[in-house]
Structure 1
Amino acid sequence: MAHSVTQEIRAVYVPDPANPQINAFINQTPPSGYCATFPNDCKPLSGVRLPVRFASVQAIVPGASERNGAMFSMPAQWRSLVVSHVFTGEAATVEMRIGGFGSQYVLSDTAVNLTGESNDERAHEALWGGRSWWFVTPPCKGAAMFSYGPEFYRFFWRAQDVGTCARQAAFTIPWMSYGYLDVGYELRTPDPLQMSSGLYVGELRYSVGPGMDIDTGDNMLPDSAEVTFRFVLDVQHVLKVDLPPGGNKVELIPQGGWQAWLQSGRRPERLFRDQTFNISASSRFRMSIECEHAGIGGCSLRDAQSGSIFPQVNMSVSLPLSITDDKGQPVQKRRLTETSTDAVFQPALYVDRAPGVLHFEVPSHYMENMIEPDKAKRFAGKVTVIWDSEV
């Protein structure tokens, strides 16, 4: 009974500080088969060996049609599948094509006995009309490496386009088999910067048999009816913010300091502080704030002496140029509030310890009540800045 074969294709994205411009998945599927033995010849393909066996149901005879002889028709076109986040269901698209395939044909007798030639090399050539099995009809092309023995021949053909690749036997072959199926494949993976952290899974199925996706004709029949490629994409994003020493204590002061107020009684126009930070980010994130003392559109401060709460600190953020908002615009003094759920930012590439600025400001209309002659006051409050990767 024909069965199904499943092959897992696993890829991972981990930001690389040494190569921030490279934002792509890395295929971690262990190679096997031809592409594992000859990786340089296989490039740009990756390869796996599948336990799919084919065997003839009748003799292959000279003059037989393609479908009754030795032929391969492989799905060389790009095909797409959806991978979904295992927890959130977030979807992304992966594309795959089979760009090469190979196996080992095994004859019912030695090529020398089947053809009457004097040695293995000449016998295998004579068996297929005087040219080695390496020479195949378009759209296929033989790869660089092959090997053979008295009754077998190992090969790998590149599928340069969709079509049937075949060889015509010059002598009767009572029985023949392919012992396995090597598959060389290419992938187009989604942009990991547009994906959330976590695992994404999906499957792409190829039917096997006469007239199916993987078709070896009406004579060479498979022992598997389906090949399933199960994709597992692992996205491991980075979101890290570093403040300089003491950066968690922000003192709001006038432009130029307090000298103008102390020496001439000139009330400052505003109180402010720009606090730098370094951000490492490889995916979209949201920013908001939490206030110890809530205000309207900002956080309030508490007068330590009277206990009154009224001045308001407005907060905004400026981010590195490679991080934009959801409209693709630079982030310069973008207002942050406790309800700023729309403050979603997206790196264009992996950002590694790039500088940003948090802007704190008490507006001018609070100055008269906050700063009075001969009255010392101290206003304080806690503001929590949230960088949230769960967008």
Structure 2
Amino acid sequence: MWLTSSCCLSVALMFSSAAVGMTQNVTALFKPDPANPMVNKFVNTTPISSVCAYHIPAQCKALNIFSLRDTTFGARSIGPIQANHEDERRGFMVKLPSEWRDLQVTHVATGETETVQMRIAGVGSTWFVPRPPGVSAWAQPGVSWDNQWRNAPSPCQSTRFLAAGVAAATFFWLAPENAGVCSRKPSQDLATMRLGALEYAYELRTPNPLTMASGSYTGSLTYSVGPGGDYDFGDVLIPDDNQLTFNFALEVQHDLKIEVPPGGNRIELVPQGGWQAWLNQGRKPARLFRDQTFNISASSRFKMQLECERVMGDTCALRNADDHQVPLNISVSLPYGLNRPDGSAVNRQPLLLSGAGTEQFQPGYYVNRRPGTLHFEVAKEHAESMLAQGGSTYSGQATVIWDSDL
């Protein structure tokens, strides 16, 4: 009797969208790590720019945020900014989409959907003002102009980053969840103000890759930009573009591998204690059986299937030269961490031609080279009928398939 296995799994999660206004690509990867089997999360592979790359990398890592710079962004004032204006919308202000937004992604082949969540967690830019008065216009009594920008106004939070000249400065502030407006007012009138380049930090919540099917998923998320929009810079500073679209490309590289020890594909069924013990005792064996171990590595859901050279009912058959057949019962036990959809353990689950009971197994975490067992058995009544044939050899071929294509 022959035992074979096949397995393969590759998952690619892609997000794409037609470009409208500003666009930004975000990439992430899940690949199981044998050294850290309990860590089953996407790794953000988007090249980091802006402050998280050069100025506050440790702080960004601790907050699990990532920063990007969009050099196509620009905003210009459509009127003067008055000193110490009372309406924050009449000067420099910023309100971000700092709340979590859901993004639905759809499997391009099956139509399955998953949800990604995103929020904007920080903002920065380079502003330009006329000189005179230059940067000193932002000073307030008892507070230097640079501390006005180095220290973020509430509800934003400071990074302490600031790079400046005599008429321009680059800043970056963090935004907690559901933050409101953050604003600064000058102490001197400014005839004009301009923003060049947009720097922002973002935070992601990605789906559980262990539950995802193989293949590609697509989707995108678009924020409005401008007065009253998701990115709101007030009523004086008007951005050149009115949309910012994020296109995500997430890739999942799952592992499903079966290792059968040398010779493990040839199964010999014997009584308890072997044939010699049966002959010495002169008692009919209660059953004929063999347990065959295998090692499995799995980071995604899979099903198991059975194929037979000879079919008998819902399972395979063994046959002798006189065409006498008996059913072969095959079942599987999987290691801890590979469960049924309801979370229960897999212990001696029958493998049937119909596939009933083995339609889906789900890893709770990445299982790396853990032992499982295939159980082969001819029940007592059928073993007795084989012995009645006298000295016959029974054989047959069964193929066990571990299949990630659900």
Q: TM-score, normalised by structure 2?
A: 0.89
Partner of 2:39: 22
Please say if 1:40 is aligned against 2:58.
yes
Which digits, 9 at most, give the CA deviation of each residue in 1:49-68, with x for residues without a partner?
12211111111111332111
Q: 2:366 aligns with which of 333, 338, 350?
A: 350
Q: Whole-Å Cα distance in 2 between the matches of residues 42 and 331 of structure 1?
A: 42
Q: Matches of 2:28 and 2:215 in 1, distance apart? A: 12
> Residue in 1 aligned with 2:296?
279
- The CA distance in 2 between the partners of 1:239 and 1:6, in whole Å, is 36
How well do the aligned residues superpose, as a CA RMSD in angstroms?
A: 1.9
Q: 2:139 aligns with which of 115, 121, 125?
A: 125
1:362 aligns with 2:378: yes
**Hey, what's the Cα distance between the residues in 1 that align with 2:272 and 2:42?**
48
Match runs of 1:106-255 below 5 Å: 106-109=128-131, 113-114=132-133, 125=139, 130-131=144-145, 132=147, 133-160=149-176, 161-255=178-272
1:96 is matched with 118
Query: Deviation of residue 200 (structure 1)?
Result: 2.0
Tell me how far apart the structure 2 counterparts of residues 147 and 68 of structure 1 sit (CA, whole Å).
Answer: 25
User: What SS is found at the alignment partner of 1:317?
Assistant: strand
Aligned to 2:48: 31
Q: Which amino acid aligns with 2:68?
A: V
Separation of aligned partners in 2, 1:384 and 1:128? 81
Structure 1: how far apart are the matches of 2:33 and 2:324? 46
**Structure 1 runs (4+) greater than 3 angstroms displaced:** 122-131
Classify the secondary structure of the residue corresponding to 2:171. strand
Give the share of equivalent positions with the same residue, in percent.
44
Cα distance in 2 for residues equivalent to 1:256 and 1:140: 75
Q: Is the 8 A contact 2:308 2:397 kept in 1?
A: yes
C-alpha separation between the residues in 1 aligned to 2:141 and 2:356? 72
Separation of aligned partners in 2, 1:9 and 1:315: 47
Q: What do residues 306-327 of structure 1 show as CA deviations (whole Å, max 9, x unaligned)?
A: 1x14211101000012111122
Cα displacement (A) at 1:342: 3.9
Q: In the TM superposition, what whole-angstrom CA distance separates every residue of 1:61-91 from its partner, at most 9, and x where no partner exists? A: 1133211100001111111111122222221
Aligned residue in 1 for 2:16: none
Which residue of 2 is the match for residue 297 of structure 1?
Answer: 314
Residue of structure 2 equivalent to 1:318: 333
Is residue 56 of structure 1 aligned with residue 66 of structure 2?
no
Residues 301-357 of structure 1 show CA distances to partners (whole Å, capped at 9, x for unaligned) of 110x21x14211101000012111122111000011111144111110000000000
Q: Distance in 2 between matches of 1:136 and 1:61?
A: 21
1:54 counterpart letter in structure 2: A
Residue 222 of structure 1 deviates from its aligned partner by 0.3
| Number of residues of Structure 1 aligned to a counterpart in Structure 2 | 379
Q: Please give the per-residue CA displacement for 1:120-159, whole angstroms capped at 9, x wherever unaligned.
A: 6x66535997443223321112212211011111100111
Gaps of 5+ in 2: 1-19
- 3-state SS of 1:287 partner: strand
Note if contact 1:286-1:342 (Cα within 8 Å) is conserved in structure 2: no
Answer whether contact 1:143 1:158 (CA < 8 A) is retained: yes
Aligned equivalents of 1:63, 1:264: Cα separation in 2: 104
Question: Which AA in structure 2 matches 1:273?
Answer: R
Q: Which residue identity is paired with 2:377?
A: E
Q: Which residue of 2 aligns with 1:382?
A: 397
CA deviation vs aligned residue, 1:257-301 (integer Å, no higher than 9, x gap): 012332343221110000000000001110121010001132101
The answer to which structure, 1 or 2, has the higher relative contact order (CA under 8 A, 6+ apart) is: 2
Equivalent residues of 1:199, 1:232 under 8 A apart: no
CA contact (8 A) 2:151 2:160 kept: no
Distance, in Å, in 2 between the alignment partners of 1:218 and 1:349 is 50
Q: Determine the C-alpha separation between the residues in 2 that align with 1:124 and 1:42.
A: 28
Corresponding letter in the other structure for 2:107: H
